[in-house]
Each structure stands twice: as structure tokens, then as C-alpha cells.
Amino acid sequence: MVTINIHSQINSNKRRSGMLVLLFIILLSVMGFFFGYFLGSWIAGIIIAGTISIIYALIGYNAGASMALSSVNAREITQDTNNLKEKQLYDVIDEVRIASGLPMPRVWIIPSNAMNAFATGTKPEKAHVAITQGLMEKLNREEMKGVMAHEMGHVKNYDTRLLLLTSILVGTVIFLADIMIRSFLWSGGGRSRNNDSSGSYILIVVGIIFAILAPIFAQLAKLALSRQREYLADATAAQLTQYPEGLASALEKIQGDEVPLKGASALTSEMFIKNPTHKRSFATRIFSTHPPIEDRIKRLRSM
Amino acid sequence: MKLAFETILLIVLAAIVLIVIVWIMSFYNRTVSLGNQVQNAFAQIDVQLKRRTDLIPNLVETVKGYAKHEREVLENVTKARTQYLSATSVADKVKTSNQLTDALSHLFAVAENYPQLKANKNFLALQEELSTTENKIAHARQYYNDRIMEYNTYIQVMPNNMLAGMFSKHPMESLKATEREREPVKVKF
């Protein structure tokens, strides 16, 4: 019998989501302050930064799932599909979600030969899971069930909400930084309405440096969401299916795949079961929270 | 203004009483909530069981079309279904449910000998429906057992166990795999 206590992970994710939002509000306020100083009124800066951020974030939060899905040309399938393999996919997801007590998520197929899958959504009632055509064809029923159980694990543990928030907030910081730098360049550089010219120049320079560095800090904040997440989704999958070998076997097949997934960007890549971009650069490995697949297989087989 | 010793004592006692009341209330409410989850989980099992019995007539008809000589196997399935539907006690329901599972496995094993049947889209769809329903029955039971475990753990840990007796909250019994279910299903030809 495979049993683990994942309550602590769910609560930890919910707490982290809250802390992350707070961290970014602070970050965006500071950016707004510098922006405002450059404009001549720091209150105006914070208000403008705040408004842009809130609008951008709200759009992202509500549309994030559908944006991720359309970026990979996903098509939805329902229970009434005539295709047997698709019906099996729908059924294994249904089986897993019954074990988890969650409502049925919406199911999508990505028309790609790459072998990958992801889950997204702000909460279990509004969740989506997707799998590539390539992966679906190469896995048997038990393996497919293991993979979808892993994705449902992310939904159940509120990883999907945390990831969505992170992506949006990083995007907002990058967006705001971009505006700040452009404003600075268009205004001819360096001009400020303050009388104290030397002091204001220093402040503006600090502001620009901050605008450039902020996106990098934001990416590093993503790292704070540890690899724990992936291991725990694997553990959840094992507990839900009561058959860890299904996922282990699927991961073995996925491990060998070299086909990159078109449409997956740095922002959405975190949601996939395996890193979809395949860049072996140092930066990707530093910023990637995907643990090595061999390790995951080993852990599953020891359960 | 200096508070008299008696006043401070009174305030402290009142605070303690308040805390105890809140503790008791939250314990009780949580047991209600967990208990309801258990009941709901039990109902889910029935939903899946009903689905299975609903699917069977169609399956029997489809197979009949291609495998007329397998009358006995088909009759067993129909008989097992009827017996299951007429079972009343929980023990009977479990027994007849397992017998139905056996009869169905036998039917699908026999169907392997009829390539035309295996190529029939209707049959394949039904086979998938029945096999997923069997899985869902198992998972619904798994979920039910998980909820029972959650409830039992909650009323057994300290300090909750002190209150459990007061409110007559006793551990619930989980569904045990029957001897039948533990054996791999043997199909005889």
C-alpha cells in the first residue's frame, strides 16, 4: 500500500502562493517608486506601476490557462469521443480523479510528436490537463494513467496555481521593466524634473539597473519553488494509481525523447512533465526546476 | 488603575473557558465534515456499480451477435447481474459484485477467440467502458477508504481522542479486499 501525507505540501504551496504575491507587490512597488522618481512624482509612479501590474496580472491569471493551451495548439476532447485511444485517455484521467476526489479536469491533446504532458489552472475546479499526440501513441494504458496521475497530482497539490502566479508575476515584472527602460530612453536619457541634478542622476541610474536586474531576480524566485514539487507529484501519482511502475515505465520512454515541443516558452516550460526546450545550457539548468529523470524513476521503483 | 487579583484571575479563567469551548466546537464540526465526506465517498461507489450493471445488457447483445455458441458464458453474465441487483445485505452485495466481475472476465477471455468480435468497434468501446468502470469501482473504494482513514486518524490522535468518546465518535470500518479480490482472476476454458 502506497501512502504519503501530502497535506503539508498543499498547505505549503498555498502559503507560498501568498508569500509570492506579497514579494512581487513589494518588488513592483519599489520599481514603481523609481519609475515615479524619474517622472517627478513617486506617487504617480507607484500608481501607474500598480495599475499596469494589476491589469496585466488579472488578464494573465484568468487567461493564463487558455494562453498556455493555445500556444501549443491544443484541442479539447470529451467523453463522447469516437477514437478509442482518446477515450482511454479520458477514462484513465477519470479513474485517477475519482481516487483523488477532485472534479474532472478539461482534457486537451497537443498535436506534436514530442513526448510531453502538462497541467494548468488556478484551482482544481478549473483545471486543464494536456498530453501530446506523440506521447499518447507511445504509451500503454497503465503508463498513460501514471503520467496523467502525475499531472492530476500537480492540480491536487495546487502546484498549478503557484506556477501560474509565478509565470504571471515574472511576466509583469519584465513588462514593467521594459516600459521603464523605454520611457527612460525616449525621454532623451537622464532628464529629471528635480532640481538636485547629481542626486537625481544617481537615483535614475539605480532605477535603470534595478529595472534590468528585476527580471533576473524574478527568475531566481522561481527557483525558490524547489524540485520538491516534481517529486511530490510523482509520489501523489503513485498513491493515486497504487501502481508506481506505470509512471516509472512512462518516464523511461520519455527520457529517450529528443523532440522539442514547439510553442513552449521559458515561462510555460515549468508546467511540463519534462523540460520541453532541450537547451543544455548552464542557464537553463540553473533556472530549471525539473529534477533528473533517472532520479525520479529510481524513487518510483523504490516505493 | 491597578486590577485586583480576583479580577485578573476571573479574566484568565474566562479566557481558558472560551478557548476550551472553541476547541470543542472545532473538533465537533470537523468530525461532521469528515464524516460527511465518508458518506459522500460511499455514495460514489454505488454510482460506479450502477454504471456497470447498466452497461451489461448492451454488451451481452453485442457478443451474442458474433458468438452465439457461447450461450453459457453469456447466460452466466446475465444471471450474475440479476443476482447482484437483487442482493440486499452489504455482504451479499459484495459477494454478487465479485461474481459479476468474474463472469465478465470470463466473457472477455472467451471473446479473444472471435476475431470478428474483437474488430467490432461497438464491442471494443463496450470493453473499454466496462474495464474503466471496474477501475472506477476500485478507485471509488480507494477514495472511500482514504476518507475513513482520515476520519479515524482525526478522532484517534491526541488531544482529540479525549473528546471523541464524549461525542460517541467511533472509528469506522474500511472496506477490506475480500479473499476473492486478492486472488488473481483465473479463467477456465
**Residue of chain A with shortest Cα separation from B149:** A3
Between helices A84-100 and A141-156, what is the axis angle to 10°? Answer: 40
Structural domain includes residue A219? no
Domain containing A192 equals 16-64+163-205
Contact criterion met (CB below 8 Å) for A13 and A161: yes
Name the amino acid, one letter, at B45. I
DSSP label at A272?
Answer: B
Reported as half-sphere exposure (CB side, CA atoms, 13 A), residue A261 has a value of: 37
Residue A118's SS3 state is strand
The pLDDT of residue B180 is 42
Say yes or no: A85 and A133 in one domain.
yes
Structural domain includes residue A9? no
CATH number of A296's domain: 3.30.2010.10
More confident residue, A172 or B61: B61
State the count of interchain CB pairs (< 8 A) between A and B.
34
The pLDDT of residue B184 is 43
Residue from the list B128, B135, B142 with its beta carbon closest to the beta carbon of A87:
B128
Which of these, B141, B68, B130, B66, lies nearest to B104 by C-alpha position? B130
Over range B38-53, report the average pLDDT.
91
Distance between B11 CA and the closest CA of chain A, angstroms: 34
Q: Could you say which of A86, A95, A142, A151 is catalytic?
A: A151
Angle at B92 between CA B86 and CA B95, to 5 degrees: 110
- Given an 8 Å threshold on Cβ–Cβ distance, is A98 in contact with B44? yes
Structural domain includes residue A192? yes
Structural domain includes residue A213? no
Which of these, B101, B88, B92, lies nearest to B136 by C-alpha position? B101
Over range A262-289, report the average pLDDT.
60
Say yes or no: A149 and A232 in one domain.
yes
Say yes or no: A84 and A49 in one domain.
no
**Residue A179: pLDDT over 50:** yes
**Residue A240: pLDDT over 50:** yes
Total domain count, chain A: 2
More confident residue, A146 or A217: A146
Structural domain includes residue A82? yes
Residue from the list B41, B128, B140 with its beta carbon closest to the beta carbon of A84:
B128
Contact criterion met (CB below 8 Å) for A103 and A123: no
Say yes or no: A152 and A195 in one domain.
no
Which residues 42-61 in chain A show a CB within 8 A of chain B?
none
Over range A229-250, report the average pLDDT.
90
Say yes or no: A95 and A201 in one domain.
no
Alpha-carbon separation of residue B78 from A82, A110, B102, B188 (angstroms): 27, 41, 12, 18
Model ipTM?
Answer: 0.80
- Given an 8 Å threshold on Cβ–Cβ distance, is A95 in contact with B142? no
Given strand A75-77, what is the order of strands in its sheet? A75-77, A106-110, A128-132, A117-120
The pLDDT of residue B185 is 39
Distance CA B76, CA B60 (A): 10
Distance between B18 CA and the closest CA of chain A, angstroms: 27
- Given an 8 Å threshold on Cβ–Cβ distance, is B139 in contact with A88? no
Say yes or no: A196 and A151 in one domain.
no
Structural domain includes residue A287? yes
Residue A286 CA to its chain's centroid (Å)? 16
Distance between A103 CA and the closest CA of chain B, angstroms: 12
- Given an 8 Å threshold on Cβ–Cβ distance, is B142 in contact with A242? yes
Say yes or no: A195 and A242 in one domain.
no
Say yes or no: A111 and A92 in one domain.
yes
Task: Give the residue from B132, B148, B153 with the most A CB atoms within 10 Å of its CB, the best one to mutate.
Answer: B132
| Low-confidence winner among A13-27, A36-50, A279-293 (lowest mean pLDDT) | A279-293
Say yes or no: A153 and A176 in one domain.
no
Beta bridge partners of B48: none
Percent of chain A with pLDDT over 70: 76
Evaluated on CA atoms A96, A98, A101, A106, the torsion sign reads positive
- Given an 8 Å threshold on Cβ–Cβ distance, is A87 in contact with B143? no
Per-position b or e across A119-129, b if 16+ CB within 10 A of its CB: bbbbebebbbb
Residue B147 — pLDDT band, cuts 50, 70, 90?
very high
Q: A142 CB near a chain B CB, below 8 Å?
A: no
Residue A153 — pLDDT band, cuts 50, 70, 90?
very high
3-state SS, one letter per residue, for B131-183: HHHHHHHHHHHHHHHHHHHHHHHHHHCCCHHHHHHHCCCCCCCCCCCCHHHHC
Say yes or no: A152 and A20 in one domain.
no
The pLDDT of residue A83 is 92
Distance between B137 CA and the closest CA of chain A, angstroms: 9
Grid coordinates 508506481 are at which residue? A244
Active site (annotated) includes residue A125: no
Say yes or no: A135 and A199 in one domain.
no
The last residue of one of the domains, among A150, A173, A205, is A205
**Residue of chain A with shortest Cα separation from B147:** A101
**Residue A194: pLDDT over 70:** no
Distance CA A88, CA A136 (A): 10
Cβ-based neighbours of A201, under 8 Å, separated by 6 or more: A190, A192
